[in-house]
Amino acid sequence: MASAETERGAPFSLDSYYVSEELGFVLPDPLENLPPYYQPWMEIALHVPELVDSHDLRSHINKMPLLSTEFLQNHRELRLAHLVLSMVTMGYVWQEGENDTVEMLPRNLAVPYWEVSQRLGLPSILTHADAALANWRKKDPEGPFELENLEVLVRLPGGDSVKGFFLVTLLVELAGVPAIRSIPAVINGVRCGDTEAVTKALENIGQSIQDMNDALKLMHVYVDPSVFYGVMRIFLSGWKDNPCMPKGLIYEGVQTEPVEFSGGSAAQSSLLHCFDELLGVKHEEKSRAFLTRMRNYMPPAHRKLIQDISLQPSLRGFVQQQANEGLSKAFDDCVSKLLALRSYHINVVTRFITVPAAKARQLRKNSHESDGEIVSRAPTSLEERGTGGSGIMTFLKTVRDTTKDVLLHEARKETVHENCHQ
């Protein structure tokens, strides 16, 4: 794979990073089935919600044959295998909620899962790259990328809300595709001093980030906060920084010591990391450490793209040096749109985690009233944490506030500060 440091004269391109011209980081045309040999995996994966509901998933997995991974021939087969084994693993670990977790993943699941993960360069846990980027199909192949024309391949407990959560996240990723496509134009424009090209590309990126924000608003339409908090959330949680599983998880037949992996998180989206590196956002130490760790949960080629963007000449420095009003405005508008997206994400987290957590606490105080309330099923130990293991509100607000620091004009900083804290 070409590096940003080789062939310095060559224009920066997305060609070597497995980024689709049409779909960006989304996996094009995911397979819907594995070769017949792997049907024991598929049969369980397609019925995870029902098997969790009947408390039979673990017994089904324990009877599953130990299959070789040698018949998985290509990238799309490996991605579907990883998605399928991830969903099955999350169901196995969290079948009984926070009170009866497991210490060991059985060999017949752990060994092939680990092997598939190693081949892909992904961890052996459900990631954003699985649940959002590789878990979709169009009902009408010729139809539009709209939620009504999309279906997930496999799902966790949570009914229509879990489907909505994964597919809205997919639509947010797709809304960011024009931004990703414009990044080479920014980098190449900075390299050769083309102010006009950089300005136009930044305008495209800003519009694309706005479209991501608009797509994220669909979360309120398609996902029930009570179902997300009370049913789905534990199945998205990992075994790192999680009081429910303080020791992590042993993968039988792979390692004798427990391993810790974080659950799925928006911080695993390569889009936001690309924007931060391009715009020169410097997060404070604790946030930076978490975000850097989240890059290990991305496909290696996407991780490499983020790293290579970070090695390019400073865009912000170029904008300051050019002292061009149109360019400066395009840069600040881009940062402002990213700030607005991060502020809106805080709004979503408030509605889907903070408010239901407060309601669950209140119901526990009046325990006789909690019968039948979905939010009451949620694990108490995760009330203040994201599924990735972060102290979620502090983290999100810190990340938003450090984004504001790259704005060039003080007046705009004040305006954005007011908007962000209303």
* Binding site listing for heme b: 345
Which residue numbers belong to the known binding site? 345
**Rounded Cα distance, 126 and 90, in Å:** 7
CA distances from 267 to 291, 319, 375 (A): 6, 27, 25
For residue 337, which phi and psi values (nearest 5 degrees)? -65, -40
Q: Which helix (H) or strand (E) holds 356?
A: helix 355-365
Quick check: 176 and 208 in contact, CB under 8 A?
yes
Residue with tokens 């999309």: 150
Task: Write the single-letter amino acid at 221.
Answer: V
Which residues 6+ apart lie within 8 Å of 262 measured at CB?
125, 238, 240, 241, 293, 294, 297, 388, 389
Tokens coding 184: 């080479």
**Helix axes 300-310 and 270-279, enclosed angle (nearest 10):** 10
Residue with tokens 């940062």: 335
**Rounded Cα distance, 295 and 221, in Å:** 30
Residue with tokens 């239901």: 356
Task: Write the single-letter amino acid at 387.
Answer: T
**Rounded Cα distance, 303 and 269, in Å:** 10
**Rounded Cα distance, 207 and 202, in Å:** 9
**Rounded Cα distance, 207 and 213, in Å:** 10
Burial of 59 (0-12, 13-18, 19+ CB in 10 A): exposed
Quick check: 311 and 388 in contact, CB under 8 A?
no
CA distances from 353 to 70, 114, 275, 349, 407 (A): 41, 31, 26, 5, 30
Quick check: 83 and 131 in contact, CB under 8 A?
yes
